[in-house]
Amino acid sequence: MEVVIVPDAAAGGELIAEAMAALLRRKPDALLGVATGSTPVPIYDALAAKVRSGAVDASRARVCQLDEYVGLPGGHPESYRSVVLRQVVEPLGLSTESFMGPDGTAEDLLGACAAYDRALAAAGGVDIQLLGIGTDGHIGFNEPCSSLASRTRIKTLTEQTRVDNARFFDGDIDQVPHHVITQGIGTILEARHLVLLATGEGKAEAVAQTVEGPVAAVVPASALQLHPHATVVVDEAAASKL
């Protein structure tokens, strides 16, 4: 595992956007696995700026989601599909056909989970998977004690994660869904390159456990230690307990 400490979130965003741009120069139709939350926004802003300036051509890029809430109506502004369309697909000038994610509105949710794993494999696998980290060490929505071999499946959110994410739902925890579909840890580990960005002091403990703790299901992000090409980018605050 490679750990890179950057001065601030903007520098982390720039560094990772440049890695994505380099990938797209090498492989124009790369499959970019994207994450949601506040942390990756500087990455998307920096990558979109590179596209606008002509520094990279992303017109053939493909994008896939890491996870999704269950039960939010299609088009809900905080469904992860809507967020990724708004923050990544539209700014990069991509069409919705180049974008895929798990269907959190499906009647057959188990079928939707299996279908998403199959779709990722059929697409040739994820070339670079961006990850944030929850304050409890979760990646995607793999909450503590998720199996390290897990596949895309339905999970129940912890109270802590619903509290953390209530800010996206007018601060009202009752609006935060209880259930989600998330790529499993085993699924995530199949991506060719994993890049986790963590910023702010609130992530310092989770980062220390991820990087320096044992590989353990209780800290899902520690599974990155098992991957042959994992990069953890942290700002000074998130690195403060390393």
67 is catalytic: yes
DSSP 134: -
Q: Which residues contact 157 (CB under 8 A, 6 or more apart)?
A: 141, 143, 165, 176, 177, 178, 179, 180
Residue type at 230?
A: A
Q: Which of 104, 134, 137, 177 binds ligand GLP (CB under 6 A)?
A: 134
Q: Round to the nearest angstrom and report the end-to-end CA distance of the chain.
A: 14
Report the nearest approach of ligand GLP to the CB of residue 54 (Å).
29
Catalytic pick from 103, 127, 136, 235? Answer: 136
The stretch among 11-19, 44-52, 103-111, 130-138 that binds ligand GLP (CB under 6 A) is 130-138
Q: Quote the tokens at residue 158.
A: 């912890």
Could you tell me the strand order of the sheet in which 2-6 lies? 2-6, 230-235, 193-198, 128-131, 31-34, 62-65, 99-100
CA 242/CA 239 separation, integer angstroms: 5
Q: Is 136 a catalytic residue?
A: yes
What distances in angstroms separate CA 122 from CA 31, 100, 108, 126, 154, one per listed residue? 11, 12, 21, 10, 21
Tell me which residues in 156-215 interact with ligand GLP (CB under 6 A).
Answer: 161, 165
Binding-site string for ligand GLP from residue 20 to residue 39, where x marks contact by CB under 6 A and - marks none: ---------------xxxxx
Nearest to ligand GLP of 112, 141 (CB atom): 141
Q: Verify whether residue 138 is a known catalytic residue.
A: yes
> What are the φ and ψ backbone dihedral angles of 192, each rounded to 5 degrees?
-70, -30
Q: In angstroms, what is the minimal distance from the CB of 183 to ligand GLP?
A: 10
67 makes contact with ligand GLP (CB under 6 A):
yes
Nearer residue to ligand GLP within complex by CB, 56 or 164: 164
Total residues contacting ligand GLP by CB under 6 A comes to: 14
**Which pair of tokens denotes residue 141?**
């929505």
56 vs 177 by CB, closer to ligand GLP: 177
Q: What is the DSSP letter of 7?
A: S
Nearest to ligand GLP of 56, 104 (CB atom): 104
Q: Of the candidates 126, 124, 116, 123, which has an alpha carbon nearest to the alpha carbon of residue 23?
A: 126
Greatest alpha-carbon pair distance for the chain in Å reads 45
Compare residues 12 and 112 and give the one whose CB is closer to ligand GLP: 12
Contact status: 141 vs ligand GLP (CB under 6 A): yes
Active site residues: 67, 136, 138, 143
Residues that bind ligand GLP (CB under 6 A): 35-39, 66-67, 132-134, 140-141, 161, 165
